[in-house]
C-alpha cells in the first residue's frame, strides 16, 4: 500500500515538471536577483574602493579589511554585537520559560493579557524603541523620577541612561530583551501545548514536584523548540540595527555601535560603501553557523 502510494506520488510529480518549474521559477529568480545578487555585490564591494557619488571603483584587495581591523570603533562594534546578542538571549530564555509556564493555564482575561504581553514583538520596533527613548530621557526619564522619589538619587544628579557608555549598553540590552521576550514566549508556549498532558500528570502521580517536573521532564522534552526560539532570537538581535540606531545612534563616542549600525554609519552616512560592505560581511560567519544549527533542528524533526 505504502509503496503503491509512493509510486502514484512520484508519477504525479514526474507528470508535470514543466508546470511545476513555471510556477516556482519567478519566485526563485526574484530571490536570486534581490538577495543573491546584492550578497555577491557586497563581497565585491568589500574588496574595492566604492564610494557614494563616485561611479568608478578599483580592486584594492584586503585594504578595507586591514583598515577596519585596526579601527577601535570596529572592535567595540564586534564586541557589542556579541554582548547584546548573547546577554539578551540569556535574559529572554530564562524569562520566557517562566512566562510560558505562567501562561499555559487557562484563566479569565488570558486573551487580553496575551495581547499586552505580545505588544513589544508585534508593534513596529522602531516605534517601541522611540517609546524607550522617552522613558530613558536624560531629564524627564520616569525611571529617574522613581529613583529620585525613593531618595536613591538627588534631583538633577541622576545618571544619564543613554549618555554614559555602560548605562547605554545596558539600556540597549534591556530593549533587545524586552522586544524578543514575547516572541520566545509564544514559541515555547506552542511547544508546551504540544506535549501530551498525561506526561506531566504521570510525573506528578509518581511524586515529582513542580520543579522536578519542569526541569527534568518538560524542559528536556522541549529542547528542539527551545533551540528554535534561541536561534531566531540570536539572528534577530545580531542583525538588528534599529534599536541601537534609534536609542543612541551608536553613541556616546561609538560605545554602543554594533556591526550593522557601524556598517550604516560608515557605508551610508560616511559614503564609504566599500568599508561599510566589508563591516557587514562580518555578520556572515555567525549567520552561517546559526543556519547550520537551524537545518539540524529541522532535519531532526523531520526524521522523528
Partner 1 sequence: MYLQFSRRLFGKAVHVLVLGTFTILLAFPFYWMFITSFKQNLDLYTMENNPFIFNARPTLEHVRFLFAETRFVRWLGNTALVGIVVVAITLLLAVPAAYALARLAGRWGERLGIAIFLTYLVPPTLLFIPLSRVVASLGLQDSLWALILVYPSFTVPFSIWLLMGFFKSIPRELEDAAMVDGLTRFGAFIKMVIPISVSGILTVVIFTFTLVTQEFVYALTFISSESNQMIGVGIPIFLVRGDVYFWGSLMAACLVASLPIAFLYNLFLDRFIAGFTVGAVK
Least Å from the CB of residue 126 to partner 1: 5
94 is a contact residue toward partner 1 (CB under 8 A): no
35 is a contact residue toward partner 1 (CB under 8 A): yes
For 261-298, the DSSP string reads HHHHIIIIIT--HHHHHHHHHTTHHHHHHHHHHHHHHH
CB distance 60 to 274 below 8 Å? yes
Residue from 68, 78, 228, 265 binding partner 1 (CB under 8 A): 228
Site residues for partner 1, window 135-174 (CB under 8 A)? 135, 137, 139-140, 142, 145, 155
Q: Which segments of the chain does DSSP mark as H helices, in order?
A: 2-15, 17-31, 37-46, 63-70, 72-104, 110-122, 125-135, 142-149, 165-194, 198-205, 210-212, 219-221, 223-238, 242-247, 259-264, 273-281, 284-303
Least Å from the CB of residue 213 to partner 1: 13
Rg of the chain in Å (alpha carbons)? 25
286 is a contact residue toward partner 1 (CB under 8 A): no
Least Å from the CB of residue 206 to partner 1: 19
Number of residues that bind partner 1 (CB under 8 A): 105
Judged by CB under 8 A, the stretch of 71-79, 85-93, 123-131, 163-171 that binds partner 1 is: 123-131
Least Å from the CB of residue 128 to partner 1: 6
- Which candidate, 258, 255, 256, places its Cα nearest to that of 241? 258
The residues, ordered by sequence, that sit 6+ positions from 71 with a Cβ below 8 Å of its Cβ are none
Residue from 69, 94, 152, 194 binding partner 1 (CB under 8 A): 194
Residue from 86, 90, 102, 199 binding partner 1 (CB under 8 A): 102
The residues, ordered by sequence, that sit 6+ positions from 249 with a Cβ below 8 Å of its Cβ are 261
Binding marks (x or -) toward partner 1, 236..275, rule CB under 8 A? Answer: ---xxxx--xx------------xx--xx--xx----x--
Least Å from the CB of residue 226 to partner 1: 9
Site residues for partner 1, window 54-93 (CB under 8 A)? none
Least Å from the CB of residue 251 to partner 1: 13
276 is a contact residue toward partner 1 (CB under 8 A): yes
Which cell goes with 301? 524533526
Question: Whole-angstrom Cα distance, residue 300 to residue 304?
Answer: 6
Which cell goes with 124? 513596529
Judged by CB under 8 A, the stretch of 72-80, 85-93, 111-119, 160-168 that binds partner 1 is: 111-119
- Give residue for cell 487557562: 106
Judged by CB under 8 A, the stretch of 69-77, 101-109, 162-170, 212-220 that binds partner 1 is: 101-109
Residue from 77, 162, 218, 225 binding partner 1 (CB under 8 A): 225
Least Å from the CB of residue 149 to partner 1: 8
- Which candidate, 261, 245, 243, 246, places its Cα nearest to that of 76? 261
Question: Per the omega criterion (within 30 degrees of 0), is the bond before 252 cis?
Answer: yes
Least Å from the CB of residue 127 to partner 1: 4
224 is a contact residue toward partner 1 (CB under 8 A): yes
Work out the end-to-end distance of the chain between its first and last CA atoms, rounded to an integer number of angstroms. 22
Judged by CB under 8 A, the stretch of 83-91, 165-173, 199-207, 284-292 that binds partner 1 is: 284-292
Amino acid at each position: 500500500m505504502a509503496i503503491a502510494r509512493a509510486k502514484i506520488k512520484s508519477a504525479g510529480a514526474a507528470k508535470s515538471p514543466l508546470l511545476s518549474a513555471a510556477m516556482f521559477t519567478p519566485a526563485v529568480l526574484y530571490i536570486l536577483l534581490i538577495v543573491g545578487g546584492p550578497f555577491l555585490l557586497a563581497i565585491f564591494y568589500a574588496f574595492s574602493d566604492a564610494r557614494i557619488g563616485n561611479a568608478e571603483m578599483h580592486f584594492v584587495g584586503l585594504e578595507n579589511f586591514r583598515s577596519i581591523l585596526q579601527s577601535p570603533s570596529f572592535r567595540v562594534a564586534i564586541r557589542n554585537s556579541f554582548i547584546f546578542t548573547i546577554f539578551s538571549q540569556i535574559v529572554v530564555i530564562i524569562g520566557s520559560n517562566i512566562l510560558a509556564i505562567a501562561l499555559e493555564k487557562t484563566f479569565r482575561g488570558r486573551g487580553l493579557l496575551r495581547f499586552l504581553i505580545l505588544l513589544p514583538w508585534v508593534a513596529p520596533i522602531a516605534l517601541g524603541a522611540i517609546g524607550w527613548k522617552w522613558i530613558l530621557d536624560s531629564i524627564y526619564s520616569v525611571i529617574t523620577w522613581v529613583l529620585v522619589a525613593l531618595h536613591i538619587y538627588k534631583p538633577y544628579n541622576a545618571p544619564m541612561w543613554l549618555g554614559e557608555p555602560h548605562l547605554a549598553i545596558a539600556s540597549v540590552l534591556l530593549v533587545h530583551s524586552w522586544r524578543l521576550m514575547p516572541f520566545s514566549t509564544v514559541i515555547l508556549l506552542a511547544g508546551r501545548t504540544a506535549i501530551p498532558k498525561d506526561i506531566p500528570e504521570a510525573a506528578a502521580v509518581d511524586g515529582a514536584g513542580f520543579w522536578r517536573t519542569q526541569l527534568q521532564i518538560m524542559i528536556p522534552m522541549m529542547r528542539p523548540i527551545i533551540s528554535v526560539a534561541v536561534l531566531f532570537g540570536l539572528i534577530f538581535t545580531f542583525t538588528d540595527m534599529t534599536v541601537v540606531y534609534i536609542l543612541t545612534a551608536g553613541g556616546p563616542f561609538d560605545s554602543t555601535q554594533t556591526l550593522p549600525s557601524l556598517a550604516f554609519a560608515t557605508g551610508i552616512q560616511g559614503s564609504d560603501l566599500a568599508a561599510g560592505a566589508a563591516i557587514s560581511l562580518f555578520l556572515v560567519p555567525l549567520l552561517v553557523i546559526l543556519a547550520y544549527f537551524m537545518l539540524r533542528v529541522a532535519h531532526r524533526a523531520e526524521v522523528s
